[in-house]
Every structure is written in C-alpha cells, then in structure tokens.
Homo-oligomer: A and B are copies of this chain.
Amino acid sequence: MTLSEEDYIKAIYHLGKGENSMVSTNEVAEQMRTKPSSVTDMIKKLSEKGVANYRKYKGVCLTEHGQKLALTLVRKHRLWEVFLVDKLNFAWDEVHEVAEQLEHIKSEKLTDRLDKLLGYPEVDPHGDPIPSKTGEFKKAVKKLLNEVPVGASGTCVGVKDSSAPFLKFLDKNKIALGDAITVLEKEEFDGSLHIEVKGKSIHISNQIAANLYLKITE
C-alpha cells in the first residue's frame, strides 16, 4: 500500500466508527481534506485491490482485509505517539502530526520491538486504546469524571468549563490533559472525589469533577 492509500484506509476506518458502517464520499473527502472526485478515484482503486467494498452512489466500507490493515496502522500510529511522549518528552498535543508520518514506516519488526520498548502500552497519550499485534483492543468512551465508577481509571482528555478560574485550579493541582487519573473513593455526602493523579492522591469537589472529561477503556 502507498502512503496515500494507507491514509484513506485509516479515514474510512475511523469514519466507520469502529463498526464497519458504510461511509459517504463526502465524509471521506472532508476527513482527507481533498475533493470528492479524488475520493471516488481512490475508493475505486481500493475496491479493485480488495481492501474496500464500493457501491456507486452508496458509499464505501472496508473488507476484512482492509480492516486488518487499518488496525495495523492505528496500532503503529498510537505506539509512536506513546514513544514520542514517554521517550522523547513531547507534549500531549505535539505528537499527532509526527505520528501521522511514522505510522507509514514498513517494518513489522520495528513495530513489535517498539511495542516491547514501551512496555506494551494499552492506550496512547490521548487515552485511545492501542490494538494488539493480533488486532484486539478495548473500546474507549469519554465520560465526565463525576460519572466514572469508583476504581476505574482513564486519561484526562478535556474540560467542559474552560474558564480561567477552572483552568487555574487544574494547574494548581497539577492536573493536565494527558494525565492518567484513577477514582479512588467517592464521598456519599457531597459527591466529592478522591482521585489519584501522577502518583498523588487529591480530593476534589463534585463540581470540579463534573467539568473534567476522562477517556476510559472498559
């Protein structure tokens, strides 16, 4: 597969929402930042190559084979993101663009060894699950921290309230996007939470928790 074909396969995969639903030409065009006519050409080619099923005017989805390719690409992309953050100290939001390039490097050995070097991580720095070599992985869902069950853990991926006071609070408590958070205990009385962030245990109000998004894999 060429670099471009690989990016189309990933786009179709992501737009298919994990379930392998039919995706429209325009959706792919928007995702790929190209024109619909270019997409038509490409999905015809992918269809001929046996990685996609294309029905004129109806849309496109991946074949079994196409799905395997997509999972390998997603695996490589996310492993590289972990590498960039864990080993090269890139920030949470700097890694995607570089991983978009690195995911196309062709060497199964490289992928496997990288996986090992990183300690077989299960999620990338954005909290998204990393498919195993055989293509299995857990689904991720985004939840407000106050709706996460006690004992569960996830990755901090966003805020609902982005006001200065709230962001300042997060900063003071050393909570940042990309941090792993575990819910230790929930107080019945006021719904406040004891959570663990970066090894430290802190206590936050329910109101705070109601404005922090966590990505958790079940």
Which A residues fall within an 8 A CB radius of B?
84, 87-90, 94, 97-98, 101-102, 105-107, 109-110, 113-114, 117
Contact = CB atoms under 8 A, between A and B. Distances in A.
A110 B84 contact: yes
B90 A113 contact: yes
A94 B109 contact: yes
Given A113-B89, A113-B90, A105 B102 contact: yes
B110 A105 contact: no
How many copies of this chain does one complex carry?
A: 2
A117 B87 contact: yes
Interface of A is mostly: helix
A83 B76 CA distance: 17
A118 B101 CA distance: 21
Contacts of A89: 113
A91 to B, nearest CB: 10
A88 B117 contact: yes
Most buried by B among A102, A105, A110: A110
A113 B101 contact: no
